[in-house]
């Protein structure tokens, strides 16, 4: 078997192992015109009939290299036209765009390319992006992450198949093999002179650091790839364990502090990362953020707090409850206030409740045990203190009426003592008169209006959730 055929066999087996391509897939191939992407395009074109996949070539002219960039574009277009391959090109002044965005040229170029690729996919469920990243790129990626500081997840390097459908079929072959393949298959390509300049961080790493490391270990690239594969095995195992612990601790949007604290530190950090990834695909949390979060969570004296994290994420604790979400996702509650009158039933679909008010015989209620969703009030005493009974949300400075009918304890303090979560407090309906709160269902009621043996009229208020029966 010749070298080119051996390379093709390696790539085909790698693609099968990772189930990269299926029949009728639409492959958008990022092609710059360099040897890596041109070899990839040639390989995919050669085998597309065998796979039954459609090819679309995407080329971005970054306007960074003047005439050379235009020649790259012409070569890619010519190659595609000769083989009847669908192709699309855009020209973007990346240097200017980077300046406008306040980003680096490399980062901006990457964003421009992938935005273009996704546009060409046009939300096609069979669509996938294919890039020419190879084994040497993987070595550079792992080394760069080590230098920046990374965990096991970062040591994995680039994935063969990303969660968003980006494929990297060449990760098992070297640059040297790619160049030999281009020569054997007569694949045209153009060299980017900027790849030999030490202006960019990755170039310095490839041109200076890796050759230096080879003087210590001639097989340093193999060692880094082996480290990457081992990290991948460890991370996959850890991910499975995290899912088990996550399922055990998970409660709707958040998770239990008590169950969370039973886990080992590694699992706790992994669960926080898992929560962050639910909100942002690329979780921006670093070790220092995770350490700070764990320090606060473990402080059992401070059980209500919020911690701002990068890129708009926020971790909130409310007693035994942890929630990590984007700050913009926090549900705000619209103001509500409704007048209530005796002997009427009100439905409030927006609040998910029904409120029933009935004037009753006091003999039925004197000394009777109330349920958490009802209150018995001395109606005559109530109207001496206030005439307007309302159902509303809590307000700043709210106080529960005391036994004399005057403002007493702060409602905020009562809810804190009851350990009502912060995010729930504004959603709880309260029954109030003009000068203070009469009743917070399930949490507090004023003793001012308790029926006595002298009560002549009782106002019986009941609040039902919409899913409850009202005749039990």
Q: Is the pTM of this model over 0.85?
A: no
Total domain count, the chain: 3
Between 87 and 198, the higher pLDDT residue: 87
- Same domain for 403 and 294, yes or no, is no
- Same domain for 133 and 13, yes or no, is yes
- Same domain for 40 and 98, yes or no, is yes
Asked whether residue 236 is assigned to any structural domain, the reply reads: no
195 C-beta neighbours (distance < 10 Å), count: 12
Residue ending a domain, among 329, 355, 390, is: 329
| 81-107 pLDDT per residue, tens | 999 999 999 999 999 999 988 888 888
- Same domain for 318 and 390, yes or no, is no
DSSP element (H, E) containing 283: none
What is the rounded CA–CA span in Å between residue 67 and residue 220? 38
- Same domain for 39 and 182, yes or no, is yes
| pLDDT for position 472 | 40
| pLDDT for position 331 | 52
State mean pLDDT over 20-49.
Answer: 95
Asked whether residue 226 is assigned to any structural domain, the reply reads: no
Any known ligand binding at 174?
no
Between 385 and 74, the higher pLDDT residue: 74
- Same domain for 178 and 63, yes or no, is yes
- Same domain for 280 and 393, yes or no, is no
Residue ending a domain, among 312, 329, 346, is: 329
Asked whether residue 454 is assigned to any structural domain, the reply reads: yes
- Same domain for 301 and 359, yes or no, is no
CATH of the domain at 131: 3.40.50.620
Beta bridge partners of 378: 458
- pLDDT at residue 468 above 50? no
Q: Given its phi and psi angles, is residue 231 left (phi above 0), alpha (psi -120 to 50 degrees) or beta?
A: alpha
Asked whether residue 393 is assigned to any structural domain, the reply reads: yes
| 241-256 pLDDT per residue, tens | 999 998 888 876 688 8
| pLDDT for position 352 | 81
Q: What percent of the chain has pLDDT over 90?
A: 46
Any known ligand binding at 36?
yes
Domain hosting residue 320, numbered range:
252-329
Any known ligand binding at 33?
yes
Interhelix angle 135-148/220-249, nearest 10 degrees:
70
Confidence of residue 332 (pLDDT cuts 50, 70, 90): low
| Average pLDDT, rounded, for the chain | 87
- Same domain for 291 and 426, yes or no, is no
What is the rounded CA–CA span in Å between residue 271 and residue 247? 10
Asked whether residue 353 is assigned to any structural domain, the reply reads: yes
Any known ligand binding at 34?
yes
- Same domain for 279 and 363, yes or no, is no
Weakest-pLDDT range from 95-104, 168-177, 435-444: 435-444
Asked whether residue 240 is assigned to any structural domain, the reply reads: no
- Same domain for 213 and 287, yes or no, is no
- Same domain for 324 and 358, yes or no, is no
CATH of the domain at 314: 3.30.465.60
Any known ligand binding at 78?
no
Residue ending a domain, among 307, 329, 351, is: 329
- First CA to last CA across the chain, in angstroms? 82
In 3D space, the residue among 188, 189, 190, 208 whose CA is nearest the CA of residue 198 turns out to be 208
């Amino acid at each position: 078997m010749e070298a080119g055929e051996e390379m093709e066999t390696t790539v085909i087996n790698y693609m099968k192992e990772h189930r990269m391509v299926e029949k009728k897939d639409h492959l958008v191939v990022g092609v710059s015109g360099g040897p890596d992407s041109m070899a990839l395009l040639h390989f995919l074109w050669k085998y597309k009939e065998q796979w039954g996949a459609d090819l679309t070539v995407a080329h971005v002219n970054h306007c960074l290299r003047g005439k050379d960039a235009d020649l790259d574009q012409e070569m890619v277009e010519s190659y595609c036209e000769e083989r009847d391959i669908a192709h699309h090109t855009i020209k973007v002044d990346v240097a200017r765009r980077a300046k406008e965005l306040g980003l680096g040229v490399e980062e901006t170029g990457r964003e421009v390319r992938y935005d273009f690729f996704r546009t060409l996919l046009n939300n096609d469920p069979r669509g996938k992006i294919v890039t020419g990243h190879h084994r040497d790129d993987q070595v550079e990626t792992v080394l760069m992450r080590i230098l920046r500081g990374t965990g096991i997840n970062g040591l994995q390097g680039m994935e063969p198949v990303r969660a968003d459908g980006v494929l990297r079929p060449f990760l098992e072959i070297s640059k040297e093999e790619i160049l030999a393949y281009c020569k054997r298959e007569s694949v045209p390509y153009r060299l980017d002179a900027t790849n030999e300049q030490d202006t960019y961080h990755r170039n310095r790493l490839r041109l200076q650091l890796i050759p230096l490391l080879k003087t210590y270990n001639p097989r340093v690239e193999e060692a880094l790839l082996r480290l990457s594969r081992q990290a991948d095995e460890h991370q996959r195992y850890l991910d499975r364990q995290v899912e088990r612990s996550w399922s055990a601790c998970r409660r709707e949007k958040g998770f239990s502090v008590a169950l969370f604290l039973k886990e080992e530190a590694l699992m706790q950090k992994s669960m926080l990362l898992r929560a962050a990834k639910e909100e942002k695909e690329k979780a921006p949390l670093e070790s220092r953020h995770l350490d700070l979060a764990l320090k606060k969570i473990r402080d059992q004296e401070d059980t209500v707090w919020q911690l701002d994290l990068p890129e708009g994420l926020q971790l909130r604790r409310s007693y035994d409850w942890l929630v990590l979400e984007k700050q913009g996702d926090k549900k705000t509650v619209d103001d509500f206030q409704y007048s209530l009158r005796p002997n009427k039933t009100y439905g409030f679909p927006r609040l998910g409740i029904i409120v029933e008010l009935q004037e009753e015989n006091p003999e039925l209620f004197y000394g009777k045990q109330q349920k958490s969703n009802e209150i018995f009030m001395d109606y005559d005493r109530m109207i001496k203190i206030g005439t307007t009974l309302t159902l509303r949300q809590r307000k700043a400075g709210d106080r529960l009426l005391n036994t004399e009918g005057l403002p007493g304890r702060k409602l905020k303090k009562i809810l804190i003592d009851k350990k009502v979560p912060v995010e729930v407090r504004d959603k709880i309906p309260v029954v109030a008169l003009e000068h203070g709160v009469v009743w917070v269902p399930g949490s507090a009621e004023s003793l001012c209006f308790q029926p006595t043996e002298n009560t002549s009229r009782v106002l019986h208020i009941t609040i039902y959730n919409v899913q409850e029966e009202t005749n039990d």
